[in-house]
Amino acid sequence: MPGALVSLVLVDGTLLVQCTVKDADQAAELAGGLVISGPRAVTKAQELRARGYERPVLCDAQLYAGNHRKPARAAFDRTWLLCQQGRVLTDSGYVAKLDIRGLQTILHRTMRLGPGFIATLPLHADWLKVQQDREILLHEVAFAEVPIAVALEHAADPLGVRAVVTGLLELLSVGVPVVLLRSDVSALGALCHGAMAAAVGTTTGLRHIYPVSTGGGFHRPAVAAFSPHFLSYVSVDKLAAAVQLTPDLSHLWECECTTCNGRTLDWLATAPSVAFRHSLELMGLLRDQLLSVPERALAWRERCNMAAALHTEIQAELPDWRTPPFLNAWRYASTPSSINLP
């Protein structure tokens, strides 16, 4: 295994951007670090390093995704593991509900690899949601004592379920380094509760693991942009409608990021390709604000409360507007008794 460079080290509280190889160059300009996804991720990471990119880069083989996903008990690929520098995510398969042997296989194999490797755990959401399953997970993770990278399967947003958030908080308290993969705004909540790092996907498809498809055709996810006031990703079409229908609430829609430069967010509907640049910059700024205070978990909960109140206010003007479930999941799971500061 090549020696790790100082620049490759993950620092506690790192907000990563999870992206495809195609989007890696653009994401690298604004990200605190990258998770590059797909079979060509290592090649792209090496290319970025050769050009002088010095922030953390993780490579996610994402063999756990799709209808032909790799099972948890399948062997790791030694070529994948040994051709990288710094922290290395195992090319794990999917850990189905109650696949205890699969969970143990990933963790025990990672134990044998030694320092520098992170056990990738692509989990059915019930591993965190259901108390009995959660207890098994926590026991196995505590026994292995290796860093883990968690990705969760759900049809929409796994961290929009209060019990899943509760499970994540308990996992973060086990005492091993945890990286949250394939997330969205909840990445900030994870960082505020002690995650070593968390990754925000540049597209909807990289913000959780989709369940195996049973047919019915492919639905292309809508382009969404981050709104710091609402602490949410909102589709650019919905933002455009909101700007037009609520001219008296212009303070909610004007954006001073370097991408928008004072424009209202409806312009993103005409330029969806830049929506993720806008989102990455604002997510990075909010991460800095939240992690600059001593009581990070409390600061996160307060932001969730303020955002939920704004969502309720805007629903009076726009009946189709909805409060994203993750806000209430974090508000009610992140009680002061569960605060776990790094």
Condensed to tens digits (0 to 9), the pLDDT of residues 94-113 reads: 999 999 999 999 999 999 99
Strand partners, 71: 94
- Phi, psi values for residue 57, rounded to 5°: -135, 125
**Each residue of 11-48: pLDDT tens digit?**
789 999 999 999 999 999 888 999 999 999 999 999 99
The mean predicted confidence, pLDDT, of the chain is: 91
Residue 2, pLDDT above cutoff 50: no
| DSSP strand pairing (224-227 vs 197-201) | unpaired
pLDDT of residue 339: 38
Query: Which has the higher per-residue pLDDT, 9 or 146?
Result: 146
Residue 180, pLDDT above cutoff 50: yes
pTM of the predicted model as reported, rounded to 2 decimal places = 0.92
Angle at 272 between CA 270 and CA 275, to 5 degrees: 125
**Each residue of 151-168: pLDDT tens digit?**
999 999 999 999 999 999
| CA distance linking residue 77 with residue 226, whole number of Å | 36
pLDDT of residue 276: 82
With bands split at pLDDT 50, 70 and 90, how would you rate the model's confidence at 336?
very low
Q: Give the mean pLDDT of 235-264.
A: 93
pLDDT of residue 221: 60
Which residues are CB-contacts of 337 (< 8 A; sequence separation ≥ 6)?
none
Give residue limits of the domains in the chain.
6-206, 224-336
Q: Which fold has domain 6-206?
A: TIM Barrel (3.20.20)
Contact 118, 178 (CB under 8 A): no
pLDDT of residue 341: 35
The torsion defined by the Cα of 263, 268, 269 and 273, in degrees rounded to 10, comes to 160
Distances in Å between the alpha carbon of 258 and those of 27, 123, 163, 277, 280? Answer: 15, 37, 37, 9, 11
| CA distance linking residue 34 with residue 58, whole number of Å | 6
Contact 60, 206 (CB under 8 A): no
Contact 90, 76 (CB under 8 A): yes
